[in-house]
Amino acid sequence: MSPAERPKVEIESQSGELERSLGFVEAMAIGTGTMVGAGIFVFPGLAAGQAGPAAMLSFAIGAVIAMLVALPTAELATAMPESGGGYYFISRGLGSFLGSLVGIGQWLGLIFASAFYLMGFAYYLSDVLTVLGVTASLPVQVVAFVTVVVLTGVSITGTKNTGDLQNAIVGLLLIILAGFLGHGLLDATGVLGRESIPETFMPFGVMPIFTTAALVFTSYLGFAQIATVAGEIKDPGRNLPRAMIGSVLLVGVLYVLTIFLSTSIVGSEQLSGLGETAIVEVARSIFGTVGAGAILTGGLLATLSSANASILSSSRSLFALSRDALVPDETRKINRRFRTPHVALLLTGVPTAGLILFGRVEVLAEVASLLHLLMYGLMCITLLVMRARRPAAYDPDFRCPGSPVLPALGALASFGLIAFMQPLSIGLGLGVLVAAALWDGFFARDVDIVYE
Amino acid sequence: MRTPSSILIDVELPDPSPLPPALVKLVSSLRVVIVGWYEVPEQTSPEQAREQFEEEAAAALQEIATPFEDAGAEVTQRLVFTGNVFDTVSRISVEESCDTVYIARPATELQNVLVPLRGTHNIESIMAFVADLLKERETKVTMLQVMEEGESEEKVLSKVIEPARARITDRGMDDSMLSDHLVTSDDPAGVIIEEAEDYDLVVLGETEPTMRKILFGSIPEQIAIEANVPVIVVRHAAEDVPA
């Protein structure tokens, strides 16, 4: 039957549209909500212990790298506003082999990240329980394990849209942080008459600034997650770049201020001894019990929202991989009753639970960062390749400034930061990549992706 | 000649609740835009849902559309996979320039229509639509005006009801099918909801120029939610909005 003979209704009814329902605020909330959990609520104690007050430089280095990557990513995302994010760009720009390395790395990287956030959440929950006088001391790993089981279950069966809740949580967090940082900074700079703790800025020298930057870079994994939902963002040409760049700037400033405040008020030595929930003590010494309570609440919300966002994002990565036949079709099946991708969510939740049993927070964070940094570096290279190749379909609404210097720096900085990680993290990261390469060799050998 | 009035009817897919046959007959002279929406939670990308459920959803939408097409209406189908139904319906109502939006409630027959008025506000669009909808039918139309305390009945009759009646009869509707009803109360929404019980359908104008306001936080919203009969909301015609 020729197209002209086909009944009109049939043609009409075949074109299902996709609603773009995320505006600028929602996109910012995805980016900020994914990132803000780690940098403020988990890392200050660990970072100050490693680098002293100079840890604020470590966070600043992270922000600069994130920005160098966010600008090229924004261009790629407006040129290819498709679900899948980094995997999609790299497979289209650099071919299916690197594509599937990154895609599998993106899925697993987010799993490491959610395990890390959930460990952070468990530290906060344990602190809350202690404050409430519940003395039954459960190991944090058990708490985190139970949480991931519940979270995965809710993701699979929950049909209520929690987008508004996510916005509300991020809004509440920003209010808590603004109060905390605003008052705290006046206090720390002596306006309110407090003596700040005299301390050497770099007690351990220059090197720890970089190793700490590598450790805390997990705090910036999130801006690229906005690209994984690019297909659902309204007016992506405008909202994607603004949300990516805006969320990196916002969290970067918050992180640097938080470290400045924490080290001035409590001192890095004491912070270090306080571990994952050190920031609670900073709040306590500024605002007393109320401050500690607010920050505990903030920490619970932030780490949980980061974990939740990472799990959802990881399952989106599997969808993109499966659409390109790099993983089996079953992976992207949607459950008819709940309308959720239950297979992909399980393939994210179960490995997360496994990693929680492994339980080393710093290693989890670094492997997550490593896998993302690899993707970030390759995205910068993809931008250079796209600019050189000029495929007809490539027509970005946002153009990254300063090309080729800026994206080249982004790639160098991303790969370079990996060198400052612990050997165990680098080994695990490489192990993941080898596994991904083997998978690609056996399962996805014949897959060819063309982008003209 | 002016284009026929249009109505947006939205249905949930893949298992739409059936629309009353009386509605099909009622709107057969209009342009009917049927929006079939398939809602997905945030865990699911709409694209993923489209891939798996498009065929089934399109068939369900076609099943809803067929009776309208058979009755002679000019039907446009829109199938949307969405994370936000409200965004979808309001976007399409603008894209398709729909004059009215149908808010579904169970109904068996549509013989008695209540048209609440708010002074002369939006009266041109409302009456034009009512005439287009009902002029060749045996359907009774009651115009309801809720008056404030101390407002003069005569004044309302001459300023609101008579002009409304004139507009509707000008467009070919039989005067004998029209009646009016004046009530004094400080709770217009409550009165309209109560009165609506005795009718099969309510046609009312939106109070604000935007869809968001009709559905969120204004009198018509309360009516649309609380009334037990179907409601057709007449949107602001572009020319009614002051420049």
Domain ranges of chain A: 22-443
For chain B, how many helices (H) and strands (E)? 9, 9
Is the separation of the CB atoms in A283 and A45 below 8 Å? no
**Which pLDDT score, from 0 to 100, does residue B221 have?**
66
ipTM: 0.83
Query: Which is it for strands B201-205 and B112-117: parallel, antiparallel or unpaired?
Result: parallel
Of the candidates B42, B65, B82, which has its C-beta nearest A19's C-beta?
Answer: B82
Euclidean distance between CA atoms A46 and A294, whole angstroms: 21
| Most A CBs within 10 Å, among B12, B33, B45, B64, to test the A interface | B45
Of the candidates A19, A161, A319, which has its C-beta nearest B41's C-beta?
Answer: A161
Of the candidates B40, B41, B79, which has its C-beta nearest A13's C-beta?
Answer: B79
Task: Identify the CA nearest to B57 among candidates B34, B36, B88, B33.
Answer: B36
Domain B6-98 = CATH 3.40.50.620: yes
- How far is the CA of B20 from the CAs of A13, B109, B142, B198, B200, in angstroms? 22, 8, 22, 18, 11
Positions in chain B whose pLDDT score sits under 50: 1, 209-210, 212-217, 239-243
Measured in Å, how far apart are chain B's first and last C-alpha atoms? 25
Residues of B in contact with A163 (CB under 8 A): 42, 83-84
| Cβ separation A339–B69 shorter than 8 A | no
Residues 107-146 of B with CB under 8 A from A: none
Minimum Cα–Cα distance from B82: chain A residue: A19
Task: Identify the CA nearest to A23 among candidates A175, A167, A228, A173.
Answer: A167
Q: Is A152 on the interface with B (CB under 8 A)?
A: no
CA count, 13 A, side-chain hemisphere, A439: 20
Is the separation of the CB atoms in A172 and A30 below 8 Å? no
Give the distance from residue A19's alpha carbon to the nearest chain B alpha carbon, in angstroms: 5
Cis before B14 (ω within 30): yes
Q: What is the pLDDT of residues A83-139, one digit of tens each?
A: 788 999 999 999 989 998 999 999 999 999 999 999 999 999 988 888 887 766 778
**Which pLDDT score, from 0 to 100, does residue A192 have?**
66
Give the distance from residue A336's alpha carbon to the nearest chain B alpha carbon, in angstroms: 9
Euclidean distance between CA atoms A77 and A416, whole angstroms: 24
Beta strands in A168-268 (DSSP E): none
Count of residues making up chain B = 243
Give the distance from residue B223's alpha carbon to the nearest chain A alpha carbon, in angstroms: 25
Lowest mean pLDDT among A283-297, A314-328, B105-119: B105-119
| Cβ separation A19–B44 shorter than 8 A | no
| Cβ separation A159–B41 shorter than 8 A | yes
Is the separation of the CB atoms in B112 and B195 below 8 Å? no
Q: Is B89 on the interface with A (CB under 8 A)?
A: no
Q: Is A137 on the interface with B (CB under 8 A)?
A: no
| Cβ separation B48–A14 shorter than 8 A | no
Residues of B in contact with A21 (CB under 8 A): 82-84, 87-88
| Cβ separation A16–B59 shorter than 8 A | no
| Cβ separation B41–A231 shorter than 8 A | no
DSSP helix/strand/coil, A204: coil
**Which pLDDT score, from 0 to 100, does residue B243 have?**
31
- Name which residue leads in pLDDT, A197 or B113: B113
| Cβ separation B49–A334 shorter than 8 A | yes
Give the distance from residue B147's alpha carbon to the nearest chain A alpha carbon, in angstroms: 39
Q: What angle do CA B145, B151, B152 make, to 5 degrees?
A: 90
Residues of B in contact with A340 (CB under 8 A): 41, 43-44
Query: Per-residue DSSP letters for A324-346?
Result: TTSS-GGGG---TTT-S-HHHHH
DSSP helix/strand/coil, A17: strand
Say which residue the tokens 């659409």 belong to: A323
Percent above pLDDT 70 for chain A: 92
Euclidean distance between CA atoms A85 and A89, whole angstroms: 7
pLDDT higher than 80, residue A280:
yes
Sign, CA dihedral A383-A388-A391-A393, equals positive
Multiple choice CATH, B112-240, 3.30.300.170, 3.40.50.620, 3.40.50.2020, 1.10.238.10: 3.40.50.620
Residues of B in contact with A341 (CB under 8 A): 43-44, 48
Mean predicted confidence (pLDDT) in A7-18: 55
- Name which residue leads in pLDDT, B152 or A213: A213
Q: Which two tokens stand for residue B135?
A: 């002029």
If you classify domain A22-443 with CATH, what class do you get? mainly alpha
Tell me phi and psi for residue B80, to 5 degrees. -130, 130
Query: In this structure, which amino acid lies at residue B49?
Result: A
- How far is the CA of B93 from the CAs of A50, B9, B78, B84, in angstroms? 58, 10, 11, 15
Q: Which two tokens stand for residue A227?
A: 């690209």
pLDDT band per the 50, 70, 90 thresholds, residue A160 = low
| Cβ separation A339–B40 shorter than 8 A | yes
Query: Which residues fall within 8 angstroms of residue A139, CB to CB, at 6 or more apart?
Result: none
Is the separation of the CB atoms in A320 and A90 below 8 Å? no
Give the distance from residue B66's alpha carbon to the nearest chain A alpha carbon, in angstroms: 10
| Maximum CA extent, chain B | 62
Is the separation of the CB atoms in A214 and A65 below 8 Å? no
Listed by start position, the domains of chain B span 6-98, 112-240
Euclidean distance between CA atoms A328 and A439, whole angstroms: 12
Say which residue the tokens 């342009």 belong to: B31
**Which pLDDT score, from 0 to 100, does residue A201 have?**
81
Q: Is B91 on the interface with A (CB under 8 A)?
A: yes
Euclidean distance between CA atoms A368 and A361, whole angstroms: 11
Q: Is A162 on the interface with B (CB under 8 A)?
A: yes
Residues of A in contact with B87 (CB under 8 A): 19, 21
Q: Evaluate whether B6-98 and B112-240 have a shared fold.
A: yes
Euclidean distance between CA atoms A379 and A381, whole angstroms: 5
Please give the mean pLDDT across all residues of chain A.
88
Judging by beta carbons within 10 Å of its beta carbon (0-12, 13-18, 19+), is residue A223 exposed, middle or buried?
A: buried
Q: Which two tokens stand for residue A339?
A: 């309308």
DSSP helix/strand/coil, B100: strand
**Which pLDDT score, from 0 to 100, does residue B217 have?**
43
Give the distance from residue A241's alpha carbon to the nearest chain B alpha carbon, in angstroms: 21
**Which pLDDT score, from 0 to 100, does residue A376 have?**
96
Minimum Cα–Cα distance from B36: chain A residue: A16
| Cβ separation B45–A15 shorter than 8 A | no
Query: Per-residue DSSP letters for B156-205?
Result: HIIIIIHHHHHHHHHTT--GGGEEEEEEE-S-HHHHHHHHHTT-SEEEEE
Q: What angle do CA A31, A32, A33 make, to 5 degrees?
A: 95
Q: What is the pLDDT of residues A351-385, one digit of tens each?
A: 999 999 988 888 999 999 999 999 999 999 999 99
Minimum Cα–Cα distance from B65: chain A residue: A9
Task: Identify the CA nearest to A422 among candidates A356, A357, A352, A362.
Answer: A362
Q: Which two tokens stand for residue B50?
A: 């489209």
User: CB pairs below 8 Å between A and B: how many?
Assistant: 102
Count of residues making up chain A = 452
| Residues pairing with B201 in the sheet | B113
pLDDT band per the 50, 70, 90 thresholds, residue A11 = very low
Query: In this structure, which amino acid lies at residue B160?
Result: V
DSSP helix/strand/coil, A350: helix
CB count, 10 Å around CB of A333?
A: 15
Say which residue the tokens 């966070």 belong to: A59
Of the candidates B40, B47, B80, which has its C-beta nearest A231's C-beta?
Answer: B47
Of the candidates B46, B57, B77, which has its C-beta nearest A18's C-beta?
Answer: B46
Euclidean distance between CA atoms B80 and B96, whole angstroms: 14
- How far is the CA of A236 from the CAs of A232, A293, A314, B85, in angstroms? 8, 38, 21, 20
Residues 53-72 of B with CB under 8 A from A: 53-54, 57-59, 61-62, 65, 69
Task: Identify the CA nearest to B2 among candidates B77, B97, B142.
Answer: B97
Percent above pLDDT 90 for chain A: 53
Residues of A in contact with B94 (CB under 8 A): none
Give the distance from residue A225's alpha carbon to the nearest chain B alpha carbon, in angstroms: 14
Q: Is B94 on the interface with A (CB under 8 A)?
A: no
